[in-house]
Amino acid sequence: MMSERPCLEINNLSATVNHVGERVLRSVSLSVYRGEVHGLVGESGAGKSMIGKAVAGLLPRAVKIIEGSITLEGISLDDLDEKGRRHFLGETCAVIPQDPLTSLNPCRRIEPQITDRLIKTLGWKKTKARSRALELLEEVHIREPKRVLRAYPHELSGGMRQRILIASAFATEPKLIIADEPTTALDVTVQKQILKLIKEMEERHGTAMLFVTHDMGVVAKICKNVSVLYAGKVVEQTDVMSLFSGKNNHPYADALIEATPRYDKPDHSLVPVDVSINQILASEILEADKIWKGVGND
Amino acid sequence: MTNQPLCAVSSLHFSVPDLNHKPLFGSAPILEILKNINLEIPRGSVMGIVGESGSGKSTLGRCLVRLNSPSEGKIVFDGKDIAFCGEDEIRPLRKNLQMIFQDPMSSLNPRRKIGQIVASALVACGESRAQAKDKALFALDHVGLSRDFANRYPHQLSGGQRQRVGIARAIALEPKFIVADEIVSGLDVSNQAQIIVLLEKLVAELDLTLAFISHDLSIVRRLCDRVAVMRAGEIVEQESSDNIFKNPSNEYTKALLDAAPLPEITPGWI
């Protein structure tokens, strides 16, 4: 299995914000294989969404990639021109956005919002795209899919809208899906259903997945491997089994697990990430930047 | 202090006209949001209100501080029924009924400085400007924000800091009762832990009574003395926190507990 080519390979990726010299991604490397969910965890501002956006080519204009490479299905994204990249990404990669409330166009019915990509990127006929959309809605367990296709987003609940976004992400049978906090806006019962659904779809289609989240509980349930990020640097990269066995982890990874409240252990003392760990992290970041600047000056 | 609960709700109903199904002529059918709610919140306790979205937990919270007017029932706050009293009757009580909102970005005025935001509630309650300023700074101290935050704008703060401002605004008036509506659900774990630790401290120091609305059972377990589980506008189970988490009797409570992801590997959870 290990000799298999990874679906997504990120090598030494660094990015900066235009007018500030500081890096927002610091030499990030990771690879995701087919049928594998790779978790990206960290606090807000750690750059976890930034990695997903860099892959999908959705970085805000101010953020520039300054070094490193992203290889998707063996093709380096740098080798493609703007148009080629758009086509390639459109076919191989899809995003499940965080907020189902703002990610659907409120003025359009559900159907065109799912089928547009099929028609425009893949050149499908409208009738074929529609039947595919119906099929997908059934796959994500939406009752009355015909009615839902004709509905506007405001007529549907948050869970339903998130299901629609998942359905449309799987519509083109992408090789890689970037799920950017897909369950953060949902409550626990719906969250469980959605996680179940993502897992089911992911297994059925054999998709590789980057799963951005800040919830260690969710990581434990759905991911196979995980990268813990701090200030755009990967401080820990391991499989979930060893992450939650609590051995040989970076102290920050342990601190994040400790900071998660749990209902089965009420007396478990709830510790926000400690100052001493923040100091360790800060010095590591400084060290990494020094090395990086040294390399840059050569 | 008396043993009387600070806030007692009995057979509370809240309904709105269902405009989606209004016939062309005639009145709209009635949609019941809250059905026969009975709830007692003892002084100095933290009451958890949990349930899925759409179960009416926020509506109940807003009824408790009379941001919503119920259609039937009683809300006895500190010995006085506030369910149907008019705005001028409730105005003097507002000082004791505070609310912290879920989304600090939309509940803080983006064009005003933090100091002004916190002080304006005090001025509205009749404090002099100088006194309001002092108290606002004191409240900021209490929530762990240094005094120079008073001169910043909401957009210059991080999510956790903004939520602290929301808390400062509520405690500045030294209220007896605060409703906290999903105040940590938008924050990441570390910030969440900080805010929870802060709330625990404030409840102990300021002798607060808190209604904590959340869908995260782990946090509720941590913070609350009693828990009410809501579903479709009704309270399905109301128990002490220990009982409800050790032996949940209601099927729905069990399902909720089961759905909360714990940070550990459980094969077959999904």
Query: The domain spanning residue B66 has which CATH number?
Result: 3.40.50.300
Contacts of A152 (CB under 8 A, 6+ apart): A106, A107, A108, A109, A110
CA max distance for chain B: 61
B26-59, pLDDT tens digit by residue? 888 998 899 999 999 999 899 999 988 778 888 9
pLDDT of residue B165: 94
Assigned domain for B45 exists:
yes
Pairing of strands A8-17, A63-72: antiparallel
Picking from B187, B189, B241, the nearest residue to A260 by CB comes out as B189
Domains and CATH numbers, chain A: 8-278 (3.40.50.300)
Assigned domain for B104 exists:
no
B128-141, pLDDT tens digit by residue? 999 999 999 999 99
Cβ-based contacts of B54 with chain A (< 8 Å): 157
pLDDT of residue A39: 94
- Binning pLDDT at 50, 70 and 90, where does residue B259 land? confident
- For B159, the closest chain A residue by CA position comes to A44
Cβ-based contacts of A43 with chain B (< 8 Å): 188-191
Q: Is the confidence at residue B151, as pLDDT, over 80?
A: yes
Smallest CA-to-CA distance from A231 within A4, A27, A3 is with A27
Assigned domain for B199 exists:
no
Assigned domain for B216 exists:
yes
Assigned domain for B117 exists:
no
Contact B263 A260 (CB under 8 A): yes
CA–CA dist B134, B147 (Å, integer): 11
Question: pTM for the whole thing?
Answer: 0.82
- For A186, the closest chain B residue by CA position comes to B53
B87-126, pLDDT tens digit by residue? 888 888 888 999 999 888 888 999 999 999 999 989 988 8
**Chain B touched by A287 (CB under 8 Å):** no
Report the number of distinct structural domains present in chain B: 1
Contact B261 A266 (CB under 8 A): no
CA distance B176 to chain A (A): 26
CA–CA dist B64, B80 (Å, integer): 13
Contact A272 B265 (CB under 8 A): no
Could you list the residue range(s) of the whole structural domain that residue B211 is in? 1-96+207-261
Contact B159 A44 (CB under 8 A): yes
CA–CA dist A2, A6 (Å, integer): 9
| Residues within 8 A of A (CB atoms), B 156-185 only | 158-159
CA–CA dist A85, A98 (Å, integer): 24
**Chain A touched by B197 (CB under 8 Å):** yes
Per-residue confidence in pLDDT tens, chain A, 298 aa? 455 789 999 999 999 887 667 788 989 999 999 989 999 998 888 888 889 999 998 888 888 888 899 999 989 988 888 888 888 888 899 999 888 778 899 999 999 999 988 898 788 999 999 999 999 898 888 888 999 999 999 888 888 888 899 888 888 889 999 999 888 877 788 888 889 888 888 888 889 999 999 888 899 999 999 999 998 899 999 999 899 887 888 888 888 888 888 888 777 777 777 788 888 888 888 888 888 877 755 4
Assigned domain for B270 exists:
no
B160-194, pLDDT tens digit by residue? 899 999 999 999 999 999 999 989 887 888 888 88
A101-140, pLDDT tens digit by residue? 788 999 999 999 999 888 987 889 999 999 999 998 988 8
**Chain A touched by B254 (CB under 8 Å):** no
- Binning pLDDT at 50, 70 and 90, where does residue B269 land? confident
CA–CA dist B44, B64 (Å, integer): 16
Cβ-based contacts of A158 with chain B (< 8 Å): 53
- Binning pLDDT at 50, 70 and 90, where does residue B11 land? very high
pLDDT above 90: percentage of residues in chain B:
47
A269 DSSP assignment: -
Cβ-based contacts of B159 with chain A (< 8 Å): 44
Cβ-based contacts of A255 with chain B (< 8 Å): 190
CA–CA dist B257, B248 (Å, integer): 9
Q: Which amino acid is at B32?
A: E
pLDDT of residue A296: 59
CA A48, distance to chain mean position in Å, is: 8
**Chain A touched by B266 (CB under 8 Å):** yes
- Per the model's pLDDT, the better-predicted residue between B194 and B269 turns out to be B194
> Do the beta carbons of residue B32 and residue B13 sit within 8 Å?
yes
CA–CA dist B261, B270 (Å, integer): 10
Contact A199 B270 (CB under 8 A): yes
**Chain A touched by B267 (CB under 8 Å):** no
CA–CA dist A55, A69 (Å, integer): 10
CA distance B219 to chain A (A): 6
**Chain B touched by A220 (CB under 8 Å):** yes
- For B224, the closest chain A residue by CA position comes to A266
pLDDT of residue B138: 92
CA–CA dist B20, B24 (Å, integer): 11
Contacts of B182 (CB under 8 A, 6+ apart): B58, B102, B213, B214, B215
Distances (CA, A) of B134 to A116, A239, B121, B122, B130: 58, 52, 13, 10, 6
Assigned domain for B5 exists:
yes
In total, the C-beta contacts within 8 angstroms joining chain A to chain B are: 120
Picking from B189, B196, B221, the nearest residue to A256 by CB comes out as B189
- For A46, the closest chain B residue by CA position comes to B188
**Chain B touched by A189 (CB under 8 Å):** yes
Residue of B46, B102, B223, B264 to mutate for A, most A C-beta atoms under 10 A = B264
Contact A220 B219 (CB under 8 A): no
Picking from B193, B221, B269, the nearest residue to A272 by CB comes out as B193
Assigned domain for B201 exists:
no
